[in-house]
Homo-oligomer: A and B are copies of this chain.
Amino acid sequence: MLNKHPKFTAIDESFMRRALVLADRAKGLTFPNPAVGAVVVDAAGRVVGEGATGVYGGPHAERRALAQAGGAAAGATMYATLEPCSHFGRTPPCVDAVIESGVATVIAAVKDPNPLVNGKGFKRLRSCGISVKTGLLAKEAARINEDFLWAAATKRPWVALKIAMTLDGRIADDNGGSKWITSAASRRTVQEIRRRHGAIGVGAGTLIADDPKLTARCAGKTYYPTRIVFSSTENLPPNSYFMTHTDETRTIVVIKNKRRQGIDKRGIGEKGGVEYWHTGSSDAAESINNFLDMAYAEGINSILIEGGQRVASAFLENGFVNKLYLFYGNKIFGSGKNGFSFSHGLPVNDSLILNDIDYQQIGDGFLVTGYVTNNPALR
């Protein structure tokens, strides 16, 4: 690995790995901002400051690390998992803080594709005499913010899909039973995956059947991603957790139909803390397409779709899914409901393909993750 980047040392790599850990920990707290980690190291090789992006509107990773370093930042090296921002958002530009601190060198993993930054941060630093090196552990850093980078590039939210299946691809037995197909260890991993997304989406059928909380409970801490239910009606169970806990987080019902009256020009109405988003189309693909435009405009950068079969299949077969999380339990039903049921099945020579497959054993089952390519709906 290091031979490919002779401009970086093993020491550089170890500090950047530390910055990546900080970034990863912040994931789920910073939406719609990316999760960034920064480490400041003085000339003697001592870590004098560390920071990660705080909740939206709070200081960015670089400012936090520099605040911790104080005067020790002078002549130091800063490792940052993303290009420091060069624009005024909720907070002033990070590059200003870097320049003021006296940092001599900035080593960054990836460029920020946000058009407001996109290399301008690096340029500004260099113009002030700071040495800038980029590309260290770029792939790892891009993975942590794959959602943010995708959203910045496409103006659409990153969509991941999680499904828990038997070894024969079933999500429920003949009687609809699905508790539990996977192990407790797998379900803990699901919480970790939820935490990394700005929003969690399920179909109305899942809401009615399971009354899910759609929170992410990780290591004693609870995260509250935006909640989304896909429905064809506004009539959802009034006593469901979803309808009665709107104070916890943003709560959205996405309604697949023609745009209706009594809502604003975005197609959004509000009632009792619940937003009702009318997509303006009763066609499945067009409705999702419109929804994704609305979601990005509303500041949602990433969505985890958790089913059921109809919602998952509609997102997947129409080309809207970036990443799949396929959990397999160690069971075989031999019958029941399939995880996916496309309205148009795909032929073997032109099917959906999962690339960059990664898999891990979890309890007595396993998790397969991968990126959707060869998507017929996108050709």
Number of copies: 2
Contact status A173-B330, CB under 8 Å? no
**Closest residue of B by beta carbon distance from A328:** B368
A206 at the interface (CB under 8 A from B): no
Contact status B341-A317, CB under 8 Å? no
Binary contact track A349-374/B, C-beta < 8 Å → 1, others 0? 10111110101010011101010000
Binary contact track A291-333/B, C-beta < 8 Å → 1, others 0? 0000000000000000000000100110000001010101111
Set B178, B355, B361: member contacting A357, Cβ < 8 A = B361
Set B177, B330, B342: member contacting A354, Cβ < 8 A = B330
A339 at the interface (CB under 8 A from B): yes
Q: A residues within 8 Å of B by Cβ? A: 165-170, 172-175, 177-181, 313, 316-317, 324, 326, 328, 330-336, 338-342, 344-349, 351-355, 357, 359, 361, 364-366, 368, 370
Set B173, B313, B316: member contacting A351, Cβ < 8 A = B173
**Closest residue of B by beta carbon distance from A342:** B334
- Considering the chains assembled together, what is the distance between the CA atoms of A168 and B347 in angstroms? 14
Contact status B173-A338, CB under 8 Å? no
**Closest residue of B by beta carbon distance from A352:** B332
- Considering the chains assembled together, what is the distance between the CA atoms of A334 and B339 in angstroms? 8
